[in-house]
């Protein structure tokens, strides 16, 4: 399978982030590493650059850096939109949906969002299956859909994985308006039993969407593990509009038991519906939608709209009091040149994509200023460090034309007590800016529309 796409040089087009060729994209769906190829399906309007006609688009990558779009995998049908979901490799053909004697199929578990045109189920959302017997290229809808129907109007976004210890399939899905995650289990992907329901009163800022439950193996141990429940809320995000949260805890195959409070997965405006790839051994790899429902349809790109974030690897580290804390490392493509600031106060940058690295000295307020183009009036992205050692990504001046004026500054990262020197990586790729702080203890993602590549980075004192 060829996965390399020709470079596309339109204004604002990221080169190392997944973007659709010419249409609308929202949530990542059905992320899976299968037979050495990374598959990303995504919420797609195949005939427009705003939300509508929801179907599953499809793209593939060999390296998680460059992607090639394939034909639409699951098109919407009369009376049924294809909402978010996941893909599993049913290696043992537990579903019986594979061909006898052939390798086990890929099975997509997605939400059927029935429209008013549906004769029996208008206005409801239920979970359905589709199968691919050729490694993800072509798909057939299952004849007995839906397979899980609660008669609900807001039951959606099934994320399915194999739970090794219980030998069962596990599905997390939301009752979006009730702010709850429902955990169902199955032996065959076709019959599902409710195992438990979870809610978190602290996350009541908006409807819940796109949950995931990921296993994070403890470093150096085969058996020790933590789990993280990921859930997106709209609104209620940490920087306004939509956003993604993570809750650490334990999982016994039926019930998730939180051991910590929900924390933002990303402190910026532009990381939503982040979910993990299936088929990955060890640390989970997540991809998020790099947009925000408050302005998603207004981004100044065309004919395509939206990008995915860079992939992020999840791990754990101890915090100052020894409690485990989520760590998220950006997977920066090897093709992106690295400019290390070292002890310098300024450096020249070149090209549309660059990764700036260095150490922030938190003892005095200052800013890291990235200019796009020449001159004082050129667009500028700022990393601000204030007198309380808080770090904020500020995109208020980073656009060529005014954009999302109500959404300029990220939520602040407050580093652990005593931290004075903080490593950072700032990855810039056309309209994407992703800042990783303190070895991955925080990530901040923002879209920017400077209309030019980054030209200089400079450390400047502030009041
Ligand atoms: C999240 C979401 C999902 C839904 C999909 C529809 O962004 O609203 O809950 O399945 O988008 O496109």
Which amino acids bring their CB within 6 angstroms of ligand 1? 26-27, 43, 54, 83-84, 111, 156-157, 209-210, 273
Residue 337 near residue 453 (C-beta atoms within 8 A):
no
259 lies in a domain? yes
Distance of CA 44 from the midpoint of ligand 1 (Å): 11
Residue 271 near residue 251 (C-beta atoms within 8 A):
no
Residues 132 and 42 in one domain: yes
- Among 84, 158, 244, which residue has the most ligand 1 atoms within 8 Å of its CB, making it the best to mutate? 84
* Tokens (6 digits) for 463: 């009041």
Distance of CA 126 from the midpoint of ligand 1 (Å): 13
How far apart CA 261 and CA 215 sit, in angstroms, is 17
Catalytic residue among 21, 27, 188, 266: 27
Cα 375 vs. chain centroid, distance in angstroms? 35
Residues 150 and 208 in one domain: yes
Residues 217 and 181 in one domain: yes
Verify whether residue 27 is a known catalytic residue. Answer: yes
Residues 308 and 345 in one domain: no
pLDDT at 218 (0 to 100): 78
pLDDT at 317 (0 to 100): 85
Name the domain count of the chain: 2
Residue with tokens 């005593």: 418
Boundary residue ending a domain (261, 296, 330): 330
Boundary residue ending a domain (282, 298, 330): 330
Residues 358 and 236 in one domain: no
Residue with tokens 């429940």: 229
Boundary residue ending a domain (330, 357, 386): 330
Residues 198 and 53 in one domain: yes
What atom of ligand 1 comes closest to residue 83's alpha carbon? 10
Answer positive or negative: Cα dihedral of 244, 249, 252, 254.
negative
Residues 254 and 182 in one domain: yes
Question: Which CATH number characterizes residue 443's domain?
Answer: 2.60.120.560
Residues 6+ apart with CB under 8 A from 377: none
What atom of ligand 1 comes closest to residue 84's alpha carbon? 10
What atom of ligand 1 comes closest to residue 43's alpha carbon? 12
Distance of CA 43 from the midpoint of ligand 1 (Å): 8
pLDDT at 7 (0 to 100): 61
* Tokens (6 digits) for 400: 């060529």
256 lies in a domain? yes
Q: Which domain holds residue 455?
A: 338-461
**Entry pTM:** 0.96
Residues 60 and 140 in one domain: yes
Residues 64 and 38 in one domain: yes
pLDDT at 221 (0 to 100): 65
What atom of ligand 1 comes closest to residue 113's alpha carbon? 10
Distance of CA 41 from the midpoint of ligand 1 (Å): 13
Distance of CA 157 from the midpoint of ligand 1 (Å): 7
pLDDT at 324 (0 to 100): 82
Residues 286 and 432 in one domain: no
pLDDT at 343 (0 to 100): 85
137 lies in a domain? yes
| pLDDT-flagged residues of the chain (< 70) | 1-7, 219-223, 319-322
Kind and range of the H or E element at 325?
A: strand 324-330
- Terminal C-alpha separation, the chain: 55
Residues 40 and 144 in one domain: yes
């Amino acid at each position: 399978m060829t996965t390399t796409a020709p470079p596309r040089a339109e204004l604002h087009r990221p080169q190392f982030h997944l973007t659709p060729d010419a249409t609308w994209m929202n949530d990542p769906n059905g992320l899976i590493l299968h037979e050495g190829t990374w598959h990303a399906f995504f919420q797609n309007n195949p005939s427009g650059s705003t939300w509508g006609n929801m179907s599953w688009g499809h793209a593939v990558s060999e390296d998680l850096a460059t992607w090639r779009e394939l034909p639409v995998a699951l098109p919407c049908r009369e009376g049924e939109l294809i909402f978010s979901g996941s893909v599993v490799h049913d290696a043992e053909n537990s579903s019986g949906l594979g061909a006898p004697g052939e390798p086990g199929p890929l099975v997509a578990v997605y939400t059927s969002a029935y429209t008013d045109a549906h004769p029996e189920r208008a206005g409801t959302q239920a979970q359905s299956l589709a199968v691919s017997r050729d490694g993800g290229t072509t798909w057939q809808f299952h004849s007995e859909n839906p397979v899980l129907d609660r008669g609900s109007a807001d039951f959606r976004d099934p994320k399915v994985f194999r739970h090794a210890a219980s030998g069962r399939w596990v599905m997390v899905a939301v009752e979006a308006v009730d702010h709850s995650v429902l955990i169902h289990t199955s032996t065959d992907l076709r019959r599902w039993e409710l195992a438990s329901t979870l809610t978190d009163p602290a996350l009541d800022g908006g409807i819940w969407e796109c949950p995931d439950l990921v296993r994070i193996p403890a470093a150096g141990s085969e058996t020790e593990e933590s789990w993280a429940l990921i859930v997106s809320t709209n609104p209620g995000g940490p920087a306004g509009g939509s956003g993604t949260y993570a809750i650490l805890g334990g999982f016994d195959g039926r019930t998730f038991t939180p051991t910590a409070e929900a924390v933002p997965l990303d402190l910026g405006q532009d990381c939503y519906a982040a979910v993990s790839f299936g088929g990955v051994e060890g640390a989970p790899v997540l991809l998020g939608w790099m947009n925000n429902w408050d302005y998603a349809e207004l981004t100044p790109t065309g004919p395509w709209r939206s990008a995915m974030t860079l992939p992020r690897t999840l791990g754990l580290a101890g915090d100052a009091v020894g409690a485990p804390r989520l760590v998220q490392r950006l997977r920066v493509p090897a093709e992106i040149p690295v400019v290390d600031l070292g002890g310098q106060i300024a450096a020249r940058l070149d090209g549309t994509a660059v990764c700036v690295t260095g150490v922030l000295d938190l003892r005095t307020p200052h800013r890291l200023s990235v200019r796009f183009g020449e001159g004082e009036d050129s667009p500028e992205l700022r990393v601000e460090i204030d007198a309380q050692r808080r770090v904020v990504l500020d995109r208020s001046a980073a656009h060529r034309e005014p954009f999302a004026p109500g959404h300029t500054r990220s939520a602040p990262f407050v580093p652990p007590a005593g931290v004075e020197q903080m490593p950072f990586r700032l990855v810039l790729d056309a309209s994407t800016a992703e800042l990783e702080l303190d070895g991955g203890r925080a990530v901040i993602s923002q879209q920017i529309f400077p209309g030019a590549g980054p030209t200089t980075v400079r450390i400047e004192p502030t009041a």
